Amino acid sequence: MIKRKVLAGIGLGMTAALALSGCSGSPEAEGAVTLQMVESLTNPARTALLEELIAEFEAENADITVELVSPPTDQADQKIQQMLQAGSGVDVLEVRDLTVGPFSTNGWLDDMTEEFDGWAGWDDLTDNAKKVATATGETYFIPYGFYGISLFYRTDFVEQAGFDGPPEDWEELLEQAEAIQDPDANTFGYAFRGGKNGYTNAVLAISAYVADDIDVTNAYKLTNGDSIFSAPEAQDALEVYFSLFEKASPPSSVAWGYPEMVEGFTNGSTGFLLQDPEVIAAVQQSEAVSEEQWNTAPMLKGPSGKAIQPLATAGWGIAEASEHKEEAAKLIQFLSEGDASIAFTEGNSLIPILNGAADAEFYKTGAWESYLAMNENPDAYITAEQPRGAAWWTEWGEKADAEVQQVLIGQLTPEELLASWDAYWTEKWASE
């Protein structure tokens, strides 16, 4: 209290500064509600689309105003945490499969079961979407779409190297990428991910090699309860995977994270890229790669002819501290239904959450064909859930990234890496 008074005094004394900053609180009209909405995976195009959808929502609900907050992606989740902890400034927020665990454990998220009881939109959701929304028995967020992985490839490079089509499995990828690699011309085979979250692709390769024995409810486990890193096939997978780096990738890709990989493909210097569908839009905008020069292919298989597709997801949730939960739910429902949802998933190249949306013309053409192919062949392209909600997931990611880089710079052998990963998860599961 005293502090505030002192501050107010200083504030008054500094009228000059006040006049400069020209600030004033905007009084709220009677009965009107302002919702604060914070996004996490911010990018300019997505923010623009989201604002359009919000404008539609506001037109339908004259008494609700939505203020969209778009922090830089790098700092977004940290900022959201601060807001949630302070219990102010946020009503609706982007909840990711990575953050739902910690956020709900801390009691920061509203269990929306009540608000969504009797919501007409439930029936339109795909099974996957419904499963995510009600995973733990509570509803902490409604997913807005799914991120799946496919192989982006340069049709012209593949053809010039003398191949009929894109690689189907990891070994073929290595073969083709090696044939394309030509460092003197600044052309590289594969956009290797050695930097942030680089371990995820190593795990993809490992899962494809152990696909026959994987536990689909926990993609880090084998059906016998051991970790996937303990399987002998994991060694084979890493041998191919790290050969990709040695023989067919740009040397500086040791440090490549998401932006650098995407850039490496869109600037026309690399032949292959394993990425989310949201990259489709980025490649389409590329000036260096024209429409005929690229396409996508389904996930890479292991020796047994199967691949594991880890579906990542994010969605909208409500802050526990929100004073406008009802209006917040209304907004989320609006975004999760019909045209708004379709516009959002198509605009961001996401795998849709609505039944039948994937039948739209949009998902049958061009780069989307591979997703359809994967969808239609669930025995070969198995969706499995990674333990992304674990409290130690971020810690794991850092450890795993550092160790992948250690292998790349020759400080660790692939065997040591697998042993370390196996030990890590075995210990974590035992302590659960």
Per-residue mark of binding to another protein, 63-102 (x: CB under 8 A): ----xxxxxxxxx--xx-xx--xx-xx-----------xx
Please report, as residue ranges, which positions from 387 to 416 form the binding site for another protein (by CB under 8 A).
391-392, 394-395, 398, 401-403, 405-406, 408-409, 411
Residues 176 and 272: beta-carbon distance below 8 Å: yes
Regarding beta strands 214-215 and 218-222, do their DSSP bridges make them parallel or antiparallel, or are they unpaired?
antiparallel
- Minimum Å gap between C-beta 116 and another protein is 25
What whole-number distance in Å separates Cα of residue 309 and Cα of residue 219? 9
- Minimum Å gap between C-beta 161 and another protein is 19
Q: Does 18 bind another protein (CB under 8 A)?
A: yes
- Complete DSSP assignment for 161-207: TT-SS--SBHHHHHHHHHHH-BGGGTBEEE----STTTHHHHHHHHH
What whole-number distance in Å separates Cα of residue 352 and Cα of residue 177? 31
- Minimum Å gap between C-beta 123 and another protein is 32
How many residues of this chain interact with another protein, rule: CB under 8 A?
83
Stretch that binds another protein, among 1-9, 113-121, 294-302, 423-431 (CB under 8 A): 1-9
The correct pick among 28, 29, 32, 45 for binding another protein (CB under 8 A) is 45
Residues 147 and 276: beta-carbon distance below 8 Å: yes
Residues 264 and 186: beta-carbon distance below 8 Å: no
- Minimum Å gap between C-beta 309 and another protein is 21
DSSP, collapsed to helix, strand or coil, labels residue 248 as helix
Please give the structure tokens belonging to residue 140: 């902490």
> Which is closer to another protein, CB of 252 or CB of 365?
252
Please report, as residue ranges, which positions from 294 to 333 form the binding site for another protein (by CB under 8 A).
none
Residues 6+ apart with CB under 8 A from 147: 276, 277, 278, 311, 312, 313, 314, 350, 351
Place of tokens 């949201």: 278
What whole-number distance in Å separates Cα of residue 428 and Cα of residue 185? 46
> Which is closer to another protein, CB of 135 or CB of 281?
281
Stretch that binds another protein, among 113-121, 224-232, 282-290, 304-312 (CB under 8 A): 282-290
The correct pick among 12, 20, 59, 430 for binding another protein (CB under 8 A) is 20
> Which is closer to another protein, CB of 118 or CB of 410?
410
Per-residue mark of binding to another protein, 172-191 (x: CB under 8 A): -----------x-xx-x---
Residues 84 and 321: beta-carbon distance below 8 Å: yes
> Which is closer to another protein, CB of 351 or CB of 357?
351
Please give the structure tokens belonging to residue 81: 């945490």
> Which is closer to another protein, CB of 218 or CB of 266?
266
| Kind and range of the H or E run holding 145 | strand 142-147
How many Å from the N-terminal Cα to the C-terminal Cα in the chain? Answer: 44
Q: Does 373 bind another protein (CB under 8 A)?
A: no
What whole-number distance in Å separates Cα of residue 33 and Cα of residue 145? 27
> Which is closer to another protein, CB of 166 or CB of 250?
250
Residues 6+ apart with CB under 8 A from 158: 165, 166, 176, 180, 271
Q: Does 347 bind another protein (CB under 8 A)?
A: no
Please give the structure tokens belonging to residue 413: 């052998």
- Minimum Å gap between C-beta 36 and another protein is 8
- Minimum Å gap between C-beta 216 and another protein is 25
> Which is closer to another protein, CB of 268 or CB of 271?
268
Place of tokens 């932006």: 259
| Kind and range of the H or E run holding 317 | strand 312-318
Stretch that binds another protein, among 18-26, 296-304, 318-326, 327-335 (CB under 8 A): 18-26
Stretch that binds another protein, among 37-45, 165-173, 205-213, 318-326 (CB under 8 A): 37-45
> Which is closer to another protein, CB of 23 or CB of 120?
23
Please report, as residue ranges, which positions from 110 to 139 form the binding site for another protein (by CB under 8 A).
none
Neighbours of 306 (CB within 10 A): 21
> Which is closer to another protein, CB of 178 or CB of 215?
178
What whole-number distance in Å separates Cα of residue 6 and Cα of residue 25? 21
> Which is closer to another protein, CB of 14 or CB of 29?
14
Please report, as residue ranges, which positions from 252 to 271 form the binding site for another protein (by CB under 8 A).
252-255, 257-260, 262-264, 266-269
> Which is closer to another protein, CB of 227 or CB of 349?
349
